[in-house]
Amino acid sequence: MSSSGHDGLFDGLFGRGLVSVSDEDWLSAMLDTEAALARALERASLAPAGAGAAVTKAARADQFEIAELGRQAQLTGNPVPALVRALTALVPAEAREAVHRGATSQDVIDTAVMLLAKRAITVISADLGTAADRTADLAAEHIGTVMVGRTLLQQAVPVTFGLIAAGWLTALDETRAELNRFAATRLAIQFGGAAGTLASLGESGQELADLLAAELDLPAPVLPWHTDRTRIVQLGGALATVCAVLGKIARDVTLLAQTEVAEVAEGGPGRGGSSAMPNKRNPVASVLILGCAKRAPGMLATLVSAAEQEHQRAAGAWHAEWESVADLLRLTGSAASWATDLLAGLRIDATRMLANLEAAGGLPLAEHVAAELAASLGRLEAHDLVARASARAKELGISLPDALLSDAAAATALHNAGIGAAELAAAANPRSYLGSAAPFVRRALAAHQKLRDSVT
């Protein structure tokens, strides 16, 4: 037997949490499909009474040797034929006709993928919900915590950390909703037989497909989707989007946690050490979320490229999906699990945020100062005057108000506009230029609460 999939050197990093897509999970999902098919056959009177129970009793992963199934797969291109033979040998003779009847290997593997995805999405969605709740707490707590906004990695106008957290929150909520919508509308069994006609079942094929879907608690699709891979691409897209959202949060944290910035810090006892530098406290959770998230686009690209498949069965493209889907489920689950840890322990230094903003000497408020001058000077002239003063402030290491007041031309323009030192100080006050930051945060919190209420 192979390992559980959680004991390896990197499994605690990239397989964190409760999403599991180990060999045992794959095998269990395939056996669940075979057992459900046997029960459906019995319900359709296509197998003798008791056959469904007999196959279900035999279809337990601990009764199969995964390594041997893997070796046999080399002969057929996938592990299902060997699995069917092994399962048949465990079933009483009178029930053997219920094993795999009407199905093809792709039916079993594709349905197993849907079962794995359903189970994984349940876990991922729960973790996203936990992360969103914590982010909502941060947004509410820091609705008035002023900090420097940053665009193109340069200081911009002031924002609040509450608004930053609200942005994370909205992305988490919307992505979780899309993931749940996919699970509710696009997961489906695969059951089409040799070429999508279920010809071996005569006129009972469609009925049996519906019974199989009911047994597995998965929807029955309109048609078998052997070479229509939109479900797989959409699954990959939903998972990659989750990774992108979590990666955005983690990237923000790594930037705000830099030593020179130090506006946030990860929690977690004993975490963040360096093998070479005892002084360091690295943002481990953020780094590992990014490590998971950066692999997702490549896997999604594989699924998209594999979607172009020949006729009624693909030659290689279908095979390319298996490990890509499994890895994407595992990495998304790990990233979501790390995100709950990151956000639960994230520490916000509001004092440092304000200090960093004040150290900029009013420059982040240049837009506000220019707007105050525009009524007297005109918008473009005011913009150019403040731009020259900003450059002078940087060059001399003085504040923007001081740069304006100490320049003769600027001082004259200010005087003519009725703007003095007090008015400049007010214009350079970051709390006077936050616009709709607070209303936006409240809107995000209300949307989050509405989503929570709809789920509960």
Q: Show which residues are catalytic.
A: 274, 313
Rounded to whole angstroms, the Cα distance separating 66 from 68 reads 5
Cβ neighbours of residue 187 under 8 Å, at least 6 residues apart? 114, 117, 118, 218, 219, 231
**Looking at residue 222, what DSSP letter applies?**
S
Rounded to whole angstroms, the Cα distance separating 112 from 118 reads 10
Rounded to whole angstroms, the Cα distance separating 212 from 190 reads 9
Residue where the block lists tokens 């489920």 = 329
CB 389 within 8 A of CB 407: yes
Classify the phi-psi angles of 371: left when phi > 0, otherwise alpha if psi is within -120 to 50, otherwise beta. Answer: alpha
> DSSP assignment of 86-128, as one string?
HHHHHS-GGGGGGSSTT--HHHHHHHHHHHHHHHHHHHHHHHH
CB 29 within 8 A of CB 116: yes
Rounded to whole angstroms, the Cα distance separating 405 from 318 reads 70
**Looking at residue 6, what DSSP letter applies?**
S
Backbone angles phi, psi at 332, to 5 degrees: -65, -40
If residue 293 lies in a helix (H) or strand (E), which one and from where to where?
helix 284-293
Cβ neighbours of residue 194 under 8 Å, at least 6 residues apart? 104, 200
Question: Which two structure tokens, joined as six digits, stand for 135?
Answer: 């982010």
SS3 content of the chain, % helix, strand, coil (to 5): 65, 5, 30
